[in-house]
């Protein structure tokens, strides 16, 4: 292990665990009062690392180190008191320039510029939180001593752009070497090639995203689950694998049609693969998890929107994005038979023989098949809808604007025109935005307006429905309507609103597909019977039990 602040003994002891622990520690870094880096900054940092697209940012970072070294100790700039925000960094630079007016630095409204002998370089203030997180990563992995010995030339006023580039290249090379050890790609490459070769053998010789379907996923698992390396043993992992392969093929195909210079499929001769384009492809995929992560972050985590089982059931579906709608049966199979496989593994660990464990689970599953699983998913959907409605109610009663966003998202068709009579529009502001506020003080007025049955019956009906939903939830953070929510709970509802709506939308789209799955397979019972035979036969082969 050569990471600086990691120590031996992490679970599994694999190299990626060390990197993973460092990134997690960075995401939990505190400025003393709150989390230092926003989740979006941490997600971007992780993405740039896995995409190996850090060369440009490291170059920018070296310019920023030069800039701040002209006005103060660079450690104080990056690690001193205060949050890692664009505004905070801008203020630090302004203060530094006030005390060091002779520095060859120009502060502009949205950028700071270094003037070198051989040119200039500007950095947006909005980039600084990310660059700060990148420096934290470099120092925490390569070492403070390594970073310090690389940068002495760029901290002096007489440095040149060429020297900045030289230092940036040295840091990039060191990070490259670190990641080669800590983020190896061989296993992923082997898995990708196993899937695309299987796809090619099933089709016309080419691996295309559109060829992937539920049958292919199941057939691959049947063929590959007994593979010696054990990469494809669990059905749940194979589903994730196909989702990932499909995402990768689709993204490359999309980029290929946008930029003909980028190679796709197995054609590697058309041009070099740009790390930046991989980052773009990954961004959408990466953001899928964001709603689940958002619910874990304060203040949203003050409210129990999902329990552990609901969250586990949603994870694969949400991470799969729209591919969940392409492979809905695979997702469902992972829920039903993936869970059984996990139970088998647990039983083996407890010392139960494979034959006994498989027989016990085969008997149990007769009463717990797809229909029950579909009902569970529908129940989670209903709970989520109730949570959205309850959030609306609590926010509305507290006069929080986020209530309006929820209303417009889940009832876009509602006729709010009668409200024009009692809502005034303020004068337009300098940024040409008109803010709508009730005539009276906002907080009481919003709840009054929402409950005004005479003026807007449709809205009042919606409020009554949301109140009923609020009264039916007894989870942590959901106060009874007559009691009202605390300030922190209101902040939690507001920060979770967008995530809840997105989760609800994804789940609703999936739930809408369930009847079609049953119908196209002759009903849930027929599908149960067929898949039970397939999966348990495979489990017996996989775990060495003669049928």
Partner 1 sequence: MTDTKNYWMEAESASEAIFIAREALATLQVETDPSTAEAVSCFNDLYRYATDPDAPVKSGLVQQLSTNPKLRNDMRILLERVAPLRPISRAAASSGSTTTRFGTGFQMTLRESQADHEQLYVIIKLQDLACTPNTLFVINDSEGCDRIPLPEPTDGTVQLLLGSNSTLAVSLRDPKTDVFMR
7 binds partner 1 (CB under 8 A): yes
Task: Give me the long-range contacts of 482-485 (CB less than 8 A, separation at least 24).
Answer: 484/394, 484/397, 484/398, 485/394, 485/397, 485/398
Q: Between 25 and 420, name the residue whose CB sits nearer to partner 1.
A: 25
Q: Between 295 and 470, name the residue whose CB sits nearer to partner 1.
A: 295
263 binds partner 1 (CB under 8 A): yes
407 binds partner 1 (CB under 8 A): no
Q: Between 12 and 412, name the residue whose CB sits nearer to partner 1.
A: 12
Q: Could you tell me which residues come within 8 angstroms of residue 261 by beta carbon, excluding any fewer than 6 positions away?
A: 270, 271
Q: Between 47 and 125, name the residue whose CB sits nearer to partner 1.
A: 47
**Alpha-carbon span 66 to 151, nearest angstrom:** 9
Are 153 and 19 within 8 A, CB to CB? no
Q: Tell the smallest beta-carbon distance from residue 320 to partner 1 (Å).
A: 12
Sites for partner 1 among residues 38-67 (CB under 8 A): 46-47, 49-52, 55-56, 59
345 binds partner 1 (CB under 8 A): no
20 binds partner 1 (CB under 8 A): yes
Q: Between 75 and 401, name the residue whose CB sits nearer to partner 1.
A: 75
Sites for partner 1 among residues 415-444 (CB under 8 A): none
**Alpha-carbon span 262 to 134, nearest angstrom:** 28
Window contacting partner 1 (CB under 8 A); options: 111-119, 192-200, 388-396, 456-464? 192-200
Q: Tell the smallest beta-carbon distance from residue 513 to partner 1 (Å).
A: 24
Window contacting partner 1 (CB under 8 A); options: 13-21, 324-332, 363-371, 452-460? 13-21
Q: Between 223 and 315, name the residue whose CB sits nearer to partner 1.
A: 315
Q: Tell the smallest beta-carbon distance from residue 419 to partner 1 (Å).
A: 43
Candidates 38, 125, 240, 504: give the one binding partner 1 (CB under 8 A).
240
Q: Between 285 and 499, name the residue whose CB sits nearer to partner 1.
A: 285
Candidates 35, 39, 79, 437: give the one binding partner 1 (CB under 8 A).
79
Q: Tell the smallest beta-carbon distance from residue 392 to partner 1 (Å).
A: 30
H or E stretch including 240?
helix 235-258
Are 161 and 116 within 8 A, CB to CB? yes
Sites for partner 1 among residues 303-332 (CB under 8 A): none
Inter-CA distances, 305 with 317, 350, 474, 488, 508, Å: 17, 33, 11, 15, 17
Q: Tell the smallest beta-carbon distance from residue 81 to partner 1 (Å).
A: 8
Q: Tell the smallest beta-carbon distance from residue 485 to partner 1 (Å).
A: 28
Q: Tell the smallest beta-carbon distance from residue 9 to partner 1 (Å).
A: 5
Helices 457-472 and 370-397 cross at an angle (nearest 10°) of 120
521 binds partner 1 (CB under 8 A): no
**Main-chain phi, psi angles of 230, to 5 degrees:** 75, 15
**Alpha-carbon span 11 to 17, nearest angstrom:** 7
* Strands (DSSP E) found in 117-175: 119-124
**Alpha-carbon span 80 to 78, nearest angstrom:** 6
- Bridge-based pairing of strands 105-107 and 111-116 is antiparallel
**In which region does residue 116 sit, left (phi positive, over 0), alpha (psi from -120 to 50) or beta (all else)?**
beta
**Main-chain phi, psi angles of 476, to 5 degrees:** -55, 130
Number of residues binding to partner 1, judged by CB under 8 A: 88
Q: Between 50 and 404, name the residue whose CB sits nearer to partner 1.
A: 50
16 binds partner 1 (CB under 8 A): yes
Q: Tell the smallest beta-carbon distance from residue 182 to partner 1 (Å).
A: 10
**Alpha-carbon span 406 to 384, nearest angstrom:** 13
Candidates 32, 109, 205, 412: give the one binding partner 1 (CB under 8 A).
32
Are 137 and 58 within 8 A, CB to CB? no
**Alpha-carbon span 138 to 161, nearest angstrom:** 21
Provide the mask over 193-232, with x wherever binding to partner 1 is found by CB under 8 A and - wherever it is not: x--x----------x-------------------------
Q: Between 3 and 477, name the residue whose CB sits nearer to partner 1.
A: 3
Candidates 38, 44, 90, 191: give the one binding partner 1 (CB under 8 A).
191
Q: Which of 280, 212, 287 is nearest to 252 (CA)?
A: 280
Q: Between 92 and 467, name the residue whose CB sits nearer to partner 1.
A: 92
Q: Between 17 and 451, name the residue whose CB sits nearer to partner 1.
A: 17
User: b/e per residue, 275-301, with b = 16+ CB within 10 A?
Assistant: bebbbbbbeebbebebbbebbebebbb
Q: Could you tell me which residues come within 8 angstroms of residue 149 by beta carbon, excluding any fewer than 6 positions away?
A: none
Sites for partner 1 among residues 281-300 (CB under 8 A): 281-282, 285-286, 289
**Alpha-carbon span 302 to 488, nearest angstrom:** 8
Sites for partner 1 among residues 131-190 (CB under 8 A): 136, 139-140, 143-145, 148, 165, 168-169, 172-173, 176, 179, 183, 185, 187-189
24 binds partner 1 (CB under 8 A): yes
278 binds partner 1 (CB under 8 A): yes
19 binds partner 1 (CB under 8 A): yes
């Amino acid at each position: 292990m050569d990471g600086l602040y990691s120590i031996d003994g992490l679970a599994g002891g694999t190299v990626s665990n060390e990197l993973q622990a460092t990134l997690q520690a960075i995401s939990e870094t505190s400025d003393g009062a709150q989390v230092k880096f926003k989740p979006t900054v941490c997600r971007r940092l992780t993405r740039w690392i896995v995409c190996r697209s850090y060369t440009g940012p490291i170059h920018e970072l070296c310019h920023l180190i030069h800039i701040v070294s002209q006005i103060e100790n660079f450690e104080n700039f990056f690690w001193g008191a205060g949050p890692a925000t664009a505004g905070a960094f801008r203020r630090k630079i302004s203060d530094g320039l006030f005390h060091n007016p002779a520095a060859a630095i120009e502060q502009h409204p949205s950028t700071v510029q270094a003037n070198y002998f051989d040119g200039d370089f500007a950095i947006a203030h909005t980039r600084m939180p990310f660059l700060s997180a990148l420096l934290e990563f470099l120092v925490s992995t390569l070492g403070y001593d390594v970073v310090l010995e690389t940068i002495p030339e760029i901290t002096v006023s007489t440095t040149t752009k060429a020297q900045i580039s030289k230092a940036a290249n040295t840091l990039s090379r060191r990070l490259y070497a670190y990641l080669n050890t800590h983020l190896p790609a061989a296993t992923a490459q082997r898995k990708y090639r196993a899937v695309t070769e299987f796809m090619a053998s099933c089709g016309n010789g080419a691996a295309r995203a559109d060829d992937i379907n539920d049958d292919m996923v199941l057939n691959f698992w049947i063929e590959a689950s007994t593979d010696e390396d054990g990469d494809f043993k669990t059905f749940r992992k194979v589903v994730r694998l196909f989702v990932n392969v499909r995402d990768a093929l689709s993204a490359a195909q999309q980029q290929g049609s946008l930029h003909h210079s980028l190679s796709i499929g197995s054609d590697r001769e058309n041009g070099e693969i740009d790390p930046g384009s991989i980052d773009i492809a990954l961004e959408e995929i990466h953001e899928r998890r964001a709603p689940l992560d958002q619910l874990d972050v304060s203040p949203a985590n003050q409210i129990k929107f999902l329990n552990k089982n609901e969250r586990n059931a949603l994870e694969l579906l949400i991470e799969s994005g729209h591919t969940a709608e392409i492979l809905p049966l695979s997702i469902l199979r992972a829920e039903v038979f993936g869970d059984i496989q996990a139970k088998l593994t647990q039983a083996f660990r407890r010392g139960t023989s494979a034959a006994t464990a498989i027989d016990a689970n085969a008997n149990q599953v007769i009463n717990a098949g797809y229909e029950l699983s579909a009902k569970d998913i529908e129940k989670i959907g209903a709970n989520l809808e109730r949570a959205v409605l309850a959030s609306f109610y609590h926010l509305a009663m507290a006069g929080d604007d986020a209530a309006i966003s929820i209303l417009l998202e889940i009832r876009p068709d509602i006729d709010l025109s009668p409200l024009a009579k009692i809502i005034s529009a303020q004068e337009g502001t300098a940024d040409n935005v008109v803010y709508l506020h009730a005539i009276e003080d906002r907080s009481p007025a919003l709840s009054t307006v929402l409950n005004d049955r005479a003026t807007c019956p449709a809205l009042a009906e919606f409020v009554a429905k949301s109140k009923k939903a609020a009264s039916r939830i007894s989870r942590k953070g959901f106060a009874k309507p007559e009691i009202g929510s605390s300030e922190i709970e209101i902040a939690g509802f507001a920060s979770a609103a967008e995530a809840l709506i997105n989760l609800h939308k994804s789940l609703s789209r999936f739930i809408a597909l369930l009847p079609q799955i049953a119908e196209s397979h002759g009903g849930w019972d027929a599908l149960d019977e067929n898949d039970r035979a397939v999966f348990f036969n495979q489990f017996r082969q996989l775990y060495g039990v003669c049928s």
